[in-house]
């Protein structure tokens, strides 16, 4: 069970709204269990219908303790079982209706069988081509176009990193506003440059003989990646003259 703020005087906006929390407070609550979660991730899960926080008259999000618990369940199911967001949403909605539902099964069907979720998650989260198409709600032609622009790239074995689902969902959402995949090449190029910068910083640690130092390189990479994403978002907001709640 997550420990949410009790509403004491030191909790600022969370205390001022009868226990409702700002997105920043929610981030602090979740990071104890999910250190990689970001505000952008929370906003994305909201856009996908996984949570529905309240809004103040000025448009700022306010989260209840139930919202935070639901967020935590979503993040656990992504982390531990690598389920598509659509499956997670349907599963949680059924639970909230009081239905006794088992954990959804995932896996590639073979001869009509369904492979259950393993008790231990694999080393790296991956998703098959069929699962990616279903999760993103697209067809082969669309996926091939995205691949041609480097927006989604299969791994050597033909599978995809689980983050490809997030990329696919965002590309689809941008498409609703008339932004085509070819327009996103500039974003892909910028992301590649930013990743190269991070890799340049951590490369000496990755090459170190000490295993602990190499492990530290992974933690440093995640930290720099988060800072890079936050800076990129802030720069875009500044350039557009907008402030996201």
Q: pTM score, two decimals? A: 0.48
Summary mean pLDDT of the chain? 79
In a domain, 111, yes or no: no
Q: Hey, what are 232's tokens?
A: 């990129």
Q: What is the mean pLDDT of residues 107-131?
A: 52
In angstroms, the Cα distances linking 87 to 74, 105, 129 are 10, 9, 16
Bridge partners of 74? Answer: none
pLDDT in tens, 15-53: 444 579 999 999 999 988 888 888 888 988 888 888 999
- Both 222 and 132 in one domain: the answer is no
- Both 12 and 98 in one domain: the answer is yes
In a domain, 166, yes or no: yes
In a domain, 116, yes or no: no
Structure confidence at residue 221 (pLDDT) = 85
pLDDT in tens, 89-100: 888 888 888 776
- Both 194 and 241 in one domain: the answer is yes
- Both 16 and 78 in one domain: the answer is yes
- Both 138 and 221 in one domain: the answer is no
Give which of 199, 185, 186, 203 is closest to 228, Cα–Cα: 199
pLDDT in tens, 55-68: 988 888 999 999 99
CATH (domain of 68): 1.10.1660.10
Among candidate residues 72, 104, 136, the one where a domain is terminated: 104
pLDDT in tens, 139-174: 999 999 999 999 999 988 888 987 888 888 889 889
Residues spanned by the domain of 5: 1-104
In a domain, 156, yes or no: yes
Looking at 113-159, which runs of residues are DSSP E strands? 126-127
Domain count, the chain: 3
Percent above pLDDT 70 for the chain: 81
Structure confidence at residue 85 (pLDDT) = 78
Give which of 134, 173, 171, 175 is closest to 152, Cα–Cα: 171
52 close to 93: Cβ distance less than 8 angstroms: no
pLDDT in tens, 191-210: 999 999 988 888 887 777 77
């Amino acid at each position: 069970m997550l420990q949410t703020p009790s509403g004491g005087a030191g909790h600022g906006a969370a205390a001022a709204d009868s226990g409702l929390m700002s997105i920043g407070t929610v981030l602090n609550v979740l990071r104890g269990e999910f250190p990689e979660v970001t505000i952008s991730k929370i906003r994305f899960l909201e856009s996908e219908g996984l949570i529905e926080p309240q809004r103040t008259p000025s448009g700022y999000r306010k989260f209840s303790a139930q919202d935070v618990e639901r967020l935590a369940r979503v993040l656990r199911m992504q982390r531990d079982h690598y389920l598509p967001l659509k499956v997670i949403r349907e599963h949680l909605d059924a639970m909230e209706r009081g239905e006794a539902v088992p954990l959804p099964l995932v896996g590639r069907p073979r001869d009509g069988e369904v492979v259950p979720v393993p008790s231990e998650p694999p080393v790296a989260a991956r998703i098959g081509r069929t699962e990616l198409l279903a999760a993103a709600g697209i067809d082969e032609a669309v996926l091939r176009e995205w691949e041609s622009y480097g927006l989604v790239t299969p791994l050597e074995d033909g599978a995809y990193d689980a983050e490809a689902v997030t990329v696919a969902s965002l590309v689809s959402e941008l498409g609703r506003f008339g932004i085509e995949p070819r327009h996103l090449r500039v974003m892909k190029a910028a992301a590649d440059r930013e990743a190269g910068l991070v890799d340049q910083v951590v490369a000496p640690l990755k090459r170190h003989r000490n295993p602990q130092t190499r492990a530290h390189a992974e933690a440093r990479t995640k930290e720099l990646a988060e800072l890079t994403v936050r800076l990129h978002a802030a720069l875009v907001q500044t350039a557009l003259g907008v402030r996201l709640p």
